Structure 1
Amino acid sequence: MDDNEDDITPAQVVADMRTAWHSESVSPCLLQSRLELVHCLVDQIEEMDKNLMTVQDRTHIKVSLHRLELQRLNYMINSYMRLRLKKIEENPIFLLEKHKEGIEKNKPPLMSEEELKFAHRFATAQTSVFSSTITQHLPASLARVPVPSEDLSVERVFISVESDDVEDVAVPEGDDPNSELLLPMQRENIYFLPLLSILPALEKNQVRLL
């Protein structure tokens, strides 16, 4: 995690992981990786599990409740990872290119190292299948694996402002695509906005998806 997150509390890790999980579940695109939260939470789960193993009376209701909480946290982590892998499977080549472009612009990585390896393997397998079943029968000019583009211009999302530092958001005004309106963001307010307009604030964790 970042240096300024070294002193983060276990409760805050769980809260941040829950936010990342929910955001990934409702976002139409793959969001920036929060695998550092996953690793931190896994460490906490392992420590809690070790502590439970030292309890003499394992039939106590408190032990059962702690076990239930560990199962809930494990489910959240697994669901978060499955959501991300599903999005990667849907368009691995495009996401690899998007990840590379983000790194070149000094943005936080879109995918973790583990996800990058998965995306490369899946893209290679996908290309191999297309080559052996379709593209080998096509002219050279058409023998390429299709890479669907990602059109987020039509996506609208509900957001909640979580910070006082969110800059005014530019949103389209009326039917004119070249006309924009600056909308001030107020903390704890809820807005329904174009995804592309709030994506920078979302990447900085200044807003969260609802």
Structure 2
Amino acid sequence: MSDTEEDVIERSDDEGEPMTASEVLQKLEEAWITERMSPTLEQNQSELVDCMLDQINQMAENLKRLKKHDFRLAIHKMEIDRIRYIISSYLRVRLEKIERYAHYLLQKEAGITDESMANLTPQEVTYAKDYASNLESHFQTLVLQHVPENLRGFDPTKMSVKPNLDSYIFLRVKEETQGVLIDDSGEGRDEEVDLEEGSQHLMRYKPISHLVQSGAVTLI
């Protein structure tokens, strides 16, 4: 679709080069799949989401200039619906993880000093705090007020659910990476592996989590 293939938008890649809307959409699709496949919450891609929301608004405006029976109308509407589905699914998956790991994520986020490394957006932090607070209030009302006073001590961190970072994930290598340390390969020793560009692997998430963050690998 021309609206997403040719338009150059202000969002730039890591090297500062302008990106077309189709390139932003491709990155958003990768972020969406990675978020779905990852055992934990990945770094937020709010800039990509905002860019594509602006783009689909522009695309919707462009459709108004097409005639009612123009065959391109149905095709472009389907493309807009597809992009909206990707965005809504991406945000829904993130909200589900925030609810599941609220206390863990807030503790982790509290130790981050560089905002560029934050996994949660400010809005997601607010949501996580409200959700955790409501959960604690519900537990207090439902359980603690009905037990003896000496048993009412409550540590919310003890009810914190943590993601399984040792779970296995499928990945595709985008950038060749040498000497990735895979700790305790099952034989009681560490192992180094070289990841060739374009290769696909089944590996534990934890040893390659930093490569997911940097974009050197993408989950599939």
Normalising by structure 1, we get a TM-score of 0.89
Helix, strand or coil at the partner of 2:19: coil
Q: How does 1:51-70 map to 2 (within 5 A)?
A: 51-55=62-66, 57-70=67-80
Structure 2 segments unaligned to the other structure (5+ residues): 1-10
Equivalent residue number for residue 97 of structure 2: 87
Q: Structure 1 residue 167: deviation in Å?
A: 4.0
Asked if structure 1 preserves the Cα contact closer than 8 Å seen for 2:180 and 2:194, the reply is yes
Measured in 1, the distance between the counterparts of 2:155 and 2:108 equals 19
Measured in 2, the distance between the counterparts of 1:71 and 1:120 equals 32
Measured in 1, the distance between the counterparts of 2:103 and 2:209 equals 21
Equivalent residue number for residue 130 of structure 1: 139
Q: One-letter code of the match for 1:144?
A: D
Would you say how many aligned residue pairs link Structure 1 and Structure 2?
Answer: 204
Measured in 1, the distance between the counterparts of 2:164 and 2:153 equals 23
Structure 1 segments unaligned to the other structure (5+ residues): none
Asked if structure 1 preserves the Cα contact closer than 8 Å seen for 2:30 and 2:218, the reply is yes
Normalising by structure 2, we get a TM-score of 0.85
Equivalent residue number for residue 41 of structure 1: 52
Measured in 1, the distance between the counterparts of 2:109 and 2:68 equals 47
Equivalent residue number for residue 151 of structure 1: 164
Describe the shift of the 1:186–1:83 C-alpha distance in structure 2 as closer, same or farther (beyond 3 A).
same
Helix, strand or coil at the partner of 2:215: coil
Asked whether 1:109 is paired with 2:118, we answer yes
Equivalent residue number for residue 186 of structure 2: 174
| Alignment RMSD (CA, Å) | 1.9
Helix, strand or coil at the partner of 2:105: helix
Describe the shift of the 1:124–1:16 C-alpha distance in structure 2 as closer, same or farther (beyond 3 A).
same
Measured in 2, the distance between the counterparts of 1:88 and 1:110 equals 11
Q: One-letter code of the match for 1:148?
A: V
Asked if structure 2 preserves the Cα contact closer than 8 Å seen for 1:21 and 1:80, the reply is yes
Q: Structure 1 residue 104: deviation in Å?
A: 2.9
Equivalent residue number for residue 161 of structure 1: 173
Give CA-to-partner distance per residue, 1:39-82, whole Å, 9 cap, x none: 01111111111111122x13211011101100110011000000
Q: Structure 1 residue 105: deviation in Å?
A: 6.2
Q: Structure 1 residue 124: deviation in Å?
A: 1.1
Q: One-letter code of the match for 1:168?
A: G
Measured in 2, the distance between the counterparts of 1:173 and 1:88 equals 31
Give CA-to-partner distance per residue, 1:137-163, whole Å, 9 cap, x none: 36357423311233322x111111001
Measured in 2, the distance between the counterparts of 1:42 and 1:5 equals 21
Measured in 1, the distance between the counterparts of 2:219 and 2:80 equals 25
Equivalent residue number for residue 22 of structure 1: 33
Measured in 2, the distance between the counterparts of 1:106 and 1:62 equals 43
Describe the shift of the 1:149–1:68 C-alpha distance in structure 2 as closer, same or farther (beyond 3 A).
closer
